[in-house]
Amino acid sequence: MQILLYILLGIFIGLLLVVLVIRFVLKKIVGKVSEAIKQVAGSMPPPFKLELTPVENPEWLKEEGVKQRLAALQANGFQIVGAYSLDGMFDAYTVGLVQPETNTLGAVHWLKSMACLDLVTHYDDGSSVTYCDKQQGSGLGRPAQHQVIRDANASAEELYQRLLAERRSEGITPATAEDFAPRFIKAYNDGTAWVAERGGYTLEEIAAEAQSGSPDAPMEAIEDTHQTFAANALVNWLSTQPDRPEPWDEKECEIVVVHDDLTMRQVTRLLNEMEEEEDSLQEAEVAKAGATARSAFQTINERLGGRFIKVGEKTTERAANFYVRAPEPDDEEEEAD
């Protein structure tokens, strides 16, 4: 299971991509829950680690929202570093800029046909402040040392002047053209690692962002969107562990994640995905099997003769158990041959 979400681009992108995907996943899930998750996972596999690929004269540079932001920044002494595609992300691009006199990095993004801007100051203590011209993502958690100030009503000029007026002046890290790509990549990778360690976003965070775009979204759909994000974050966490199951490339797509924020309805669905239709379990039966999602799953799994094999466990924030499906007898015979 590759990480599904266009996760926060850490210091730079201010959580806008993850909000777009929350809303996309939610719309899919409202239609058809289990199939939607598979379709979304198959069509949008953003990487856990980011790579930037330089692009020459892309057509999206001619988009009005991109042109206006670039013109305003260049009028204020910003120099264009380059244009890049975000590898593994559909319709996601950025233009990197630097203002060496004020040690400010900028990124004009073109994300799923929408332009937006981040202006960033880094500090020697490892912290940063980002000024962003989109409001989306304000309800989602992020590392405390990476502050984001949002002003959806500000022009690029106004946003830059506000950054200069309000940012902390002590300990600013110098910024050069050579810094853009490595800092952008580090911001993304640090951000995804933070989300993975946290086990994804909370249900309350997902609900707030989902309902701002789909006010009438049913709670079950929000819960399933939350679970989709949590499962992918937790699989990313598992991928960093020294005792992860191997070979990882083969195991990654098979991991079943069970954590205690799952509802019994979701646990029942996980178990039933591996059952014949006539043997399907009922939610009431699963709920009686344990007080928590993990204990109920474990009890039912033992009752079924160990259909799932536990391959890992997370005991820190959003504790989780990781399983793969036990091989069928025919599979074991083929391996023996």
pTM reported for the whole predicted model: 0.81
- The whole-number pLDDT of residue 66 equals 96
* Helix/strand/coil percentages in the chain, nearest 5: 45, 20, 35
Residues 207-212: contacts with CB under 8 Å, at least 24 apart: 208/139, 209/19, 209/22, 209/23, 209/136, 209/137, 209/139, 209/140, 210/22, 210/23, 210/26, 212/136, 212/139
Distances (CA, A) of 186 to 190, 191, 192, 290, 331: 6, 8, 10, 42, 42
Q: Which residues pair with 123 in a beta bridge?
A: 172
Residue with tokens 């990882």: 248
- The whole-number pLDDT of residue 252 equals 74
Q: What is 180-193 written as a DSSP string?
A: HHHHHHHHHHHHHH
Question: What is the C-alpha separation between 66 and 68, in angstroms, rounded?
Answer: 6
- The whole-number pLDDT of residue 301 equals 93
Locate 2 and state its tokens.
């590759």
- The whole-number pLDDT of residue 26 equals 57
Report the amino acid identity of residue 167.
R
Question: What is the C-alpha separation between 3 and 239, in angstroms, rounded?
Answer: 11
- The whole-number pLDDT of residue 27 equals 57
Q: Quick: pLDDT tens for 86-125.
A: 887 767 899 999 999 999 999 999 887 789 899 999 999 9
What is the three-class DSSP state of 123?
Answer: strand
| C-alpha dihedral sign at 111, 115, 116, 119 | positive
- The whole-number pLDDT of residue 222 equals 83
CA 200 to chain centre: 8
**Mean of the per-residue pLDDT values of the chain:** 82
Question: What is the C-alpha separation between 72 and 70, in angstroms, rounded?
Answer: 6
Using 70 as the pLDDT threshold, list the residues of the chain that sit under it: 1-47, 90, 136-138, 213-214, 250, 274-279, 329-337
Domain ranges of the chain: 10-198, 241-336
- The whole-number pLDDT of residue 6 equals 32
Report the amino acid identity of residue 248.
W
- The whole-number pLDDT of residue 228 equals 83
In the DSSP assignment, the letter for residue 127 is -
* Dihedral-angle region of residue 203 (phi above 0 means left; psi in -120 to 50 means alpha; beta otherwise): alpha
- The whole-number pLDDT of residue 21 equals 57
